[in-house]
Chain A
Amino acid sequence: MIMEYKMETIKTFNYDRPIIEKGYANQTLFIDISVPDISIKPVDEKMKDVFIGGKGFDLWLLWHAVKSTTKWADPDNAICISSGPMGGTPLYPGSGKSIVTTISPLTGSVIDSNVGGYFGPYLKFSGFDTLEVKGKTEKDIVILIDGIDEKVQILETSGLPDDSYDLSAILTEHFAQGKPRHISVVSTGPGAKNTRMGCLNFTWYDLKRKRARYKQAGRGGIGSVFADKRIKAIVARWDTVKVDTNNPADGNALKAVGRKHSKEIAELDPKQNEMATIGTTHLVTIMNDFDLLPTYNFQYGTHPEAVNVGQEVYRRIFDTGYDGCWMGCTVACSHGVKDFVPLTGPYKGTKVFVDGPEYETIAGCGSNLGIFDPHMIVEMNFYCDAYGLDTISVGTSIAFAMECFEMGLIDETHTRGIHLSFGNRLAALEMVHQMAEGDGFGLIVGQGVRQMKSIFAKDYKADPHIMQDIGMEAKGLEFSEYMTKESLAQQGGYGLALKGPQHDEAWLIFLDMVHNFMPTFEQKAEALHWFPMFRTWFGLCGLCKLPWNDIIPEDNKDTREPAKVMKHVEWYAEYYTAVTGKKTKPDEIIRMSEGVYNFQRIFNLKMGFGQRDHDDIPYRAMGPVKPVEYESRRDRYDKELVEKHHVDITGMDTEEKIRLLRKFREALYEELKDAVYKRRGWTANGIPTLETVRRLGIDFPDVLELLKAHGIE
């Protein structure tokens, strides 16, 4: 690869790398790129006890970095990246995650996004539990965190490529000193600069394929904040990783529990979902069979062509070989497509390697757009990553624009001649290219569903009420790709999630609808307490959640609570104990998460959100908006009106039935809010009570002051 580029060091900070103690470096790295200034902040025991690590550390640093008035593009906004105490353990599956937080361009509040790749562990082994970057520059910079040579540098750059695909490869080679596996690059691309839905790509070096590959911190536009600060990349350099690099409190106990879990996955994954072979693509046809796969902007849950973009096809398209995004992970689900040749854009006609697609991308950039062409989805995936765009927000935003186009709310005068209808593959790709170029209608789509609703109403005189019903965003974040109409629990899973409708907090749809594990209201509320808390814990510790419940012990079905996979929860408690030396049982895991979870809720409050109204969801997430949606599931809806709500529907037209169903379902959702708030120890307005914050040890003076300002004292 020949590229004319320059890099000039403008700041060097030398430091003595600390020894990692029981999973912690015990210090964080602070960089203000405006000055520029580089310094180290200590981590004390209280911070570890209350915030654990990962997202907890990020939130604590971000809380102090921003004011309640800070906007996403302000220099004060920080990007924080952490792994966690178990992050960087090569023996235990799924132990290489990083969590990134910032103030989101889409929501205006705190966003968090978890991601694989080697950066978080390399950052920690270089001496820092968390990286906090704030400020803005006028010239492009690269930040190097070199744990081998014990230095942090800021370099001014010019001539580097804009897109993350080439940029990752060039920077890996530039800093590798002959050992590319020692490098992890965080970068974004031109789409991030021109939209609010930019993602970050985190690399690892694939020794077999001899190339830098990447995973995405996708949600909430973190890449857009990164690009706005004019950071081209942050690079971590670290040496060989072994089990004792993380210096666990009890290495033998760690090896024992890690081997158990690794062995079980290696034995059972081939019999279960085959994630090591097909990743998450198995979900496409399964969701389709259960009427849960979003199609045509979440109008319907199934399509006869879905099989064309499911695991049977991608099994043949994926390149074979080991695909772990962290060392030694036996789930190894990060598959990719080799020698793919795009038909459009700057890479048209050249062979590229594409990381993905995963289920979310297939559903978001495929079925939800009415696209069932597996190669076109791969091309969307490639360009979204290379341009630094979140495939979920891109998919859900284009789907909204397509429905508006088909309904006549917008037309070709607005799209500048593009026939933006469902199933138009080239139009969808053109939107992505326009997002990268910052031009055309793609520039508007790239602002996200919430902004589009406002622009279409104000500038194009489109009906704001219907757009409110069909625009699939909540808190400003686009929905991820599951149909929630028939699952009240999953409506809560999305609507009550702290950052917006993303499934990583609570994925209850199958447990609720198919397995019927939570038939009562109280059980739903309990699930909306336990699952978000347990899932939060992975993000505190540097872990991936897939080993927990995507490969399941054969005797799990005979346990008292199969949905929780308690055998694995117990293993995780053993794992935490072995690394940190703090003796831990499963219940204490929930308690750890509760502190951070409630703190994040209060952080939302600080930013002007975090109350009952902010947990609202669009009606399409609850039920049918249009007669065609009702008619597609008429038997189900008629039955619900008659049997559950005791309505005589004789002679009633569809519009009237929609109106009645809506009244019942919206009331149920409000009841669910009440039940969940109560279970979580919040007021009826969704704010943690004094008793809750005291119990969890997050009763800091500024928290109490904030609560007092909202009448909680």
Chain B
Amino acid sequence: MFRVNGKQRSWYEGMTVADLLRDIGDSHHYAVVRINDKHVSMPYFEKTRIPDNSEVFLIPLIAGG
């Protein structure tokens, strides 16, 4: 299991950030996610695996400035 924005989800071996966003169904809204304390940006979604028992946050918009 792992948590996404505070809610429990099932985890499977090899799951990437891109897999998670496809499962959730609105991947186009997110350019950055945070896995525990580490930010992962869109160019790395396909190759970044989500560890079991991790805490994932979907960052809705980068506003900057």
Which positions in A face B, CB cutoff 8 Å? 271-274, 282-283, 285-287, 289-290, 310-312, 315, 359, 482, 503-504, 507, 509-510, 514-515, 545, 548-550, 552, 554, 556-557, 562-563, 565
Instruction: Tell me whether A503 and B61 are in contact (CB under 8 A).
Output: no
Task: State whether the Cβ of B13 lies closer than 8 Å to any Cβ in chain A.
Answer: no
Chain B residue numbers with a CB within 8 Å of A554 are 5, 60
* Interface set, chain B 4-48, CB cutoff 8 A to A: 5-6, 26, 29, 31-32, 34, 37-39, 41-44
Closest A residue to B28 by beta carbon equals: A515
Task: State whether the Cβ of B2 lies closer than 8 Å to any Cβ in chain A.
Answer: no
Chain B residue numbers with a CB within 8 Å of A562 are 29, 60-61
Q: How far is the CA of A311 from the CA of B37 in the complex (A)?
A: 9
Instruction: Tell me whether B59 and A312 are in contact (CB under 8 A).
Output: no
Closest A residue to B32 by beta carbon equals: A286
Chain B residue numbers with a CB within 8 Å of A545 are 65
B9 to chain A, nearest CB (A): 15
Closest B residue to A280 by beta carbon equals: B64
Q: Which of B43, B60, B63 contacts A507 (CB 8 A)?
A: B63
Known A-B contacts A285-B39, A286-B41, A510-B31; A503 and B64 likewise in contact (beta carbons under 8 Å)? yes
Q: Secondary structure at chain A's binding surface: helix, strand, loop or mixed?
A: helix
Chain A residue numbers with a CB within 8 Å of B61 are 510, 515, 549, 552, 556-557, 562-563, 565
Q: Which of A271, A310, A504, A550 contacts B63 (CB 8 A)?
A: A550
Chain B residue numbers with a CB within 8 Å of A548 are 63
Q: How far is the CA of A275 from the CA of B60 in the complex (A)?
A: 14
B47 to chain A, nearest CB (A): 12
Chain A residue numbers with a CB within 8 Å of B63 are 507, 510, 548-550, 552
Instruction: Tell me whether B41 and A290 are in contact (CB under 8 A).
Output: yes
Instruction: Tell me whether B26 and A273 are in contact (CB under 8 A).
Output: no
Chain A residue numbers with a CB within 8 Å of B44 are 289
Closest B residue to A504 by beta carbon equals: B65
Instruction: Tell me whether A514 and B59 are in contact (CB under 8 A).
Output: no
Chain A residue numbers with a CB within 8 Å of B60 are 272, 552, 554, 556-557, 562
Q: List 18 A-B contacts (CB under 8 A).
A: A271-B6, A272-B59, A282-B39, A286-B41, A290-B42, A290-B43, A310-B39, A312-B38, A509-B64, A510-B61, A545-B65, A552-B61, A552-B63, A557-B26, A557-B29, A557-B60, A562-B60, A563-B61
Instruction: Tell me whether A515 and B31 are in contact (CB under 8 A).
Output: yes
Chain A residue numbers with a CB within 8 Å of B42 are 289-290, 514
Chain B residue numbers with a CB within 8 Å of A272 are 57, 59-60
Chain B residue numbers with a CB within 8 Å of A504 are 65
Q: How far is the CA of A507 from the CA of B65 in the complex (A)?
A: 6
Instruction: Tell me whether B62 and A510 are in contact (CB under 8 A).
Output: yes
Q: How far is the CA of A548 from the CA of B41 in the complex (A)?
A: 22
Q: Which of B26, B37, B62 contacts A286 (CB 8 A)?
A: B62
Closest A residue to B40 by beta carbon equals: A289
Q: Which of A273, A289, A556 contacts B41 (CB 8 A)?
A: A289
Q: How far is the CA of A536 from the CA of B13 in the complex (A)?
A: 49
Q: Which of B6, B29, B37 contacts A312 (CB 8 A)?
A: B37
A521 to chain B, nearest CB (A): 22
Q: How far is the CA of A515 from the CA of B62 in the complex (A)?
A: 9
Closest A residue to B60 by beta carbon equals: A552
Chain A residue numbers with a CB within 8 Å of B38 are 312
Q: How far is the CA of A548 from the CA of B29 in the complex (A)?
A: 18
Chain A residue numbers with a CB within 8 Å of B5 are 271, 554
Q: Which of A311, A503, A515 contacts B65 (CB 8 A)?
A: A503
Instruction: Tell me whether B37 and A315 are in contact (CB under 8 A).
Output: yes
Beyond A315-B37, A507-B65, list 10 extra A-B contacts (CB 8 Å): A286-B41, A290-B41, A290-B42, A359-B64, A510-B63, A510-B64, A515-B31, A548-B63, A549-B61, A554-B5
Q: How far is the CA of A272 from the CA of B41 in the complex (A)?
A: 13
A410 to chain B, nearest CB (A): 32
Chain B residue numbers with a CB within 8 Å of A285 are 39, 41
Q: How far is the CA of A677 from the CA of B60 in the complex (A)?
A: 32
Q: How far is the CA of A260 from the CA of B39 in the complex (A)?
A: 28
Closest A residue to B59 by beta carbon equals: A272
Q: How far is the CA of A441 from the CA of B62 in the complex (A)?
A: 39
A352 to chain B, nearest CB (A): 27
Q: Which of A271, A285, A507 has the most CB of B within 10 A?
A: A271
Q: How far is the CA of A162 from the CA of B29 in the complex (A)?
A: 50
Chain B residue numbers with a CB within 8 Å of A312 are 37-38
Chain A residue numbers with a CB within 8 Å of B34 are 274
Known A-B contacts A507-B65, A550-B63; A271 and B37 likewise in contact (beta carbons under 8 Å)? no
Chain A residue numbers with a CB within 8 Å of B32 are 286
Chain B residue numbers with a CB within 8 Å of A550 are 63
Chain A residue numbers with a CB within 8 Å of B59 are 272-273
Q: How far is the CA of A510 from the CA of B59 in the complex (A)?
A: 13
Q: How far is the CA of A312 from the CA of B40 in the complex (A)?
A: 12
Q: Which of A286, A509, A549 contacts B39 (CB 8 A)?
A: A286
Known A-B contacts A286-B39, A286-B41, A289-B43; A507 and B64 likewise in contact (beta carbons under 8 Å)? yes
Q: How far is the CA of A282 from the CA of B60 in the complex (A)?
A: 14
Instruction: Tell me whether B62 and A514 are in contact (CB under 8 A).
Output: yes
Closest A residue to B42 by beta carbon equals: A514
Q: How far is the CA of A312 from the CA of B34 in the complex (A)?
A: 12
Closest B residue to A510 by beta carbon equals: B62
B62 to chain A, nearest CB (A): 5
Closest A residue to B29 by beta carbon equals: A557
B12 to chain A, nearest CB (A): 23
Chain A residue numbers with a CB within 8 Å of B6 are 271
Q: Which of B34, B43, B44, B63 has the most CB of A within 10 A?
A: B63
A564 to chain B, nearest CB (A): 11
| Top 10 A-B pairs, shortest CB-CB distance | A507-B65, A289-B41, A549-B63, A503-B65, A557-B29, A552-B60, A514-B31, A550-B63, A271-B57, A510-B62
Q: Which of A273, A274, A282, A507 has the most CB of B within 10 A?
A: A273
Q: How far is the CA of A503 from the CA of B64 in the complex (A)?
A: 9
Chain A residue numbers with a CB within 8 Å of B43 are 289-290
Instruction: Tell me whether B64 and A283 are in contact (CB under 8 A).
Output: yes
Q: How far is the CA of A119 from the CA of B65 in the complex (A)?
A: 23
